[in-house]
Structure 1
Amino acid sequence: MNELAITVIGRDRPGIVADVAEVLARLGANLTDSTMTRLRGHFAMTLICVGPTSAAVEDALGPLTADGQLLATVREVRPDGEVASAGERYVMSVHGADRMGIVAAMTRAVTEAGGNVTDLSTRLAGTLYVVVAEVDLPAGASDALTGRLAQVAADLGVEVALRPADPDLL
């Protein structure tokens, strides 16, 4: 069996998730990880599955992309398995007036502290910009990072919070 990374993007419409999932199920592909969202009327889905060859999946997804409204890519990936976090999980939330560079500056501070961003979403609601990110930090790094994030946030004119992630929630 092959491990595949599949992306599907395009103008949102009802049924895309069901259509893709049905194609994969008919092929005997087991969906192991996935995420999907709507971004200002556009659909974006990324998933990992174990199943047939990438060519077989591309062919099977062909009818869904034939009208040009959706784009699907399929790529074989190396099955590395689940990588355990080397540190502690936190949630970083940022909100404030929209301006260029918020995501870049805040994630750079996390990286410089030895952290890794494992999930990130942003939303613009009027002039309010919101970032929510899950980050893995080295043990004991949160105090120093909290101070650094406060400095970066002050420079950007936004608010930031860093709190431990609840291990009982996905």
Structure 2
Amino acid sequence: MGAVTLHAITVLGHDRPGIIAETTAILGGLGLNLEDSSMTLLRGHFAMTLISAGDADVDTVEAALAPLASGGDLTVSVRELPVERVADLAGTSWVLSVHGGDRPGIVSSVVSRVAEVGGNITDLTTRLAGDLYVLVAEVDLPKDVDSDALLVSLRETAAELGVGVSLHEVEADEL
């Protein structure tokens, strides 16, 4: 086996059944291992990001995935990533929820409060249902963060935005 290469692969476009199956079958056929993945529908559009590892080069992966984009309804991109050791999360896990009327600036305002205390957003999902905007984020906070003070800051920001906010520590048995 040659040198292991990590690839960041994105597939975006019009949703239809079978995209995940087709993509992962191609990658498996190249001997690539899926190390991380995320897929969602965004306003009816398919969006998937994969991190794969193996000894295929970027050109080979792009050529193999090209048929997915041949119909014009999907865009596929492949980028090589440096192989790095993934740091263990040294903090505590929390769930941040925001809900209220939709308006610009909700995400940036709320996640800025988390960043100010050294928190890292590890997963973020937003949805717009009519006029209701919902944000749910998984957050890693440093162990020494005053979570009560952060919640006060988040509530002040939420009040300025006219939305509600909650922050809850994830219990080990919930993981």
TM-score range, shorter chain: over 0.9
1:36 and 2:33 equivalent? no
Query: For residue 81 of structure 1, what is the aligned residue in structure 2?
Result: 85
- CA distance 1:16–1:169, shift in 2 (3 Å): farther
Indicate which of 7, 11, 16 corresponds to 2:10.
Answer: 7
Query: For residue 48 of structure 1, what is the aligned residue in structure 2?
Result: 51
- Note the C-alpha offset of 1:75: 0.8
CA distance in structure 2 between the aligned counterparts of 1:167 and 1:17, rounded to whole angstroms? 30
Task: Point out where structure 1 has 5 or more consecutive residues left out of the alignment.
Answer: none
Query: For residue 19 of structure 2, what is the aligned residue in structure 1?
Result: 16
Report the TM-score, using the length of structure 1 for normalisation.
Answer: 0.96
Q: CA RMSD in A?
A: 1.1
CA distance in structure 2 between the aligned counterparts of 1:169 and 1:24, rounded to whole angstroms? 32
Task: Point out where structure 2 has 5 or more consecutive residues left out of the alignment.
Answer: none
- CA distance 1:121–1:14, shift in 2 (3 Å): same
Indicate which of 153, 162, 165 corresponds to 1:160.
Answer: 165
Report the TM-score, using the length of structure 2 for normalisation.
Answer: 0.93
Taking only the aligned residue pairs, the percentage that are identical comes to 54
- Note the C-alpha offset of 1:81: 3.0
CA distance in structure 2 between the aligned counterparts of 1:48 and 1:167, rounded to whole angstroms? 26
Shift >4 Å, 4+ stretches: none
1:150 and 2:155 equivalent? yes
CA distance in structure 2 between the aligned counterparts of 1:168 and 1:55, rounded to whole angstroms? 43
- Note the C-alpha offset of 1:54: 1.0
Q: Tell me, what secondary structure is at the counterpart of 2:84? A: coil
